[in-house]
Structure 1
Amino acid sequence: MTLNITGILDAVASHAMASGHFEQVNGHEPANAPSLGLTAAVWTDSIQAVRSSGLDSTSALLTINVRLYTSVQSDPADAIDPALMDAVDTLCAAYVDGYTFDGLIRAIDVLGQHSQGLLVRAGYIQQSGAVFRVMTITLPLIVNDLWRQTP
């Protein structure tokens, strides 16, 4: 089996877009400032072997970042965090509900059996001269039997 990274990234991005919260979802970490409104970006962070592998294959932990962006210039300012958290809540509720992206992965490592678990961090970033409020979801995915082991 090989890592279907294109399929996995497309599934994560499509899931975010289908939530109805975003005006745009990118399949990469943007180099330029995102558009106005609520935007999401999806990209890979890391991959490592996990101990739950089979006897002749290795499963992996694939970590994906899902970053939600909105301008700090959005009005009213008091609505910025609630809008971001509504989107985070929608996405995380689906992730925790056993989401497998139509069988592309075994599971999302929600509670951290092989990772730090599902995590959301808030912050600010500056991009193209503009400042954005962001929430970055660290999405740990377990992919079964990814690499064959030969003796």
Structure 2
Amino acid sequence: MTLDIRTILDAVETHALASGFFQAVNGHEPKSAPQSGITAAVWVEQIGPARGGSGLDATSVRLALFVRLYTPMTQQPEDGIDPDLMTALDALMAAYSGDFTLDDLVREVDLLGNYGDPLSARAGYLTTSGAEYRVFTITLPLIVNDLWEQVA
């Protein structure tokens, strides 16, 4: 079996677009700064065996994606920046919890961290292209069944 990464990334991007909260959703970490509203970006963060989740002849994999939400710090009102980001973040977390297998593309979203860090998000700030952004970076851990064949 091979990792169908393009289809998995497309599914995660589709969840974000379907929420209606984002001006744009990129399938990569952007090189240039988003201009207005909330932008999302999706990319691979880590991949490795799902310890305790594999069989005797194939390795199941934990594929962690980053989903980063960006909004300019210059938006007005400033008191609305975090609530707007949290509303979008809440919609994505609900989508990942509700579509546990990404339409049968993966075994599961590792919500509770059975195979590593759980589904989570961290707030922060990012300066890019000379502009400052408020960001939330979601760690989206996905478990993919029997990806790599084990040969004795």
Normalised to the residue count of structure 2, the TM-score between the two structures is: 0.96
Percent identity over the alignment is 56
Match for residue 9 of structure 1?
9
> Quick one: distance in 1 between partners of 2:114 and 2:98?
16
Match for residue 33 of structure 1?
33
Aligned-residue CA RMSD (Å): 0.9
Whichever residue aligns with residue 119 of structure 2, its letter is: L
> Quick one: distance in 2 between partners of 1:6 and 1:95?
18
Determine helix, strand or coil for the equivalent of 1:117: coil
Whichever residue aligns with residue 7 of structure 1, its letter is: T
> Quick one: distance in 1 between partners of 2:89 and 2:8?
19
Deviations 1:104-127 (A, max 9, x none): 100010101011101100000000
> Quick one: distance in 2 between partners of 1:133 and 1:89?
16
Match for residue 47 of structure 2?
47
Kindly state the Cα deviation for residue 97 of structure 1 after the two structures are TM-superposed: 2.6
Structure 2 unaligned spans of 5+: none
Determine helix, strand or coil for the equivalent of 2:12: helix
> Quick one: distance in 2 between partners of 1:17 and 1:123?
22
> Quick one: distance in 2 between partners of 1:132 and 1:104?
32
Determine helix, strand or coil for the equivalent of 1:136: strand
Match for residue 126 of structure 1?
127
Whichever residue aligns with residue 142 of structure 1, its letter is: I
Whichever residue aligns with residue 8 of structure 1, its letter is: I
> Quick one: distance in 1 between partners of 2:95 and 2:24?
19
Kindly state the Cα deviation for residue 46 of structure 1 after the two structures are TM-superposed: 0.5
Q: How many equivalent residue pairs?
A: 151
Match for residue 58 of structure 1?
59
Whichever residue aligns with residue 113 of structure 1, its letter is: N
Kindly state the Cα deviation for residue 98 of structure 1 after the two structures are TM-superposed: 4.5
Determine helix, strand or coil for the equivalent of 1:33: coil
Q: Which runs of 4+ in 1 moved over 3 A?
A: none
> Quick one: distance in 2 between partners of 1:49 and 1:31?
30
Contact 2:126 2:134 in 1 (8 A): yes
Match for residue 112 of structure 1?
113
Structure 1 unaligned spans of 5+: none
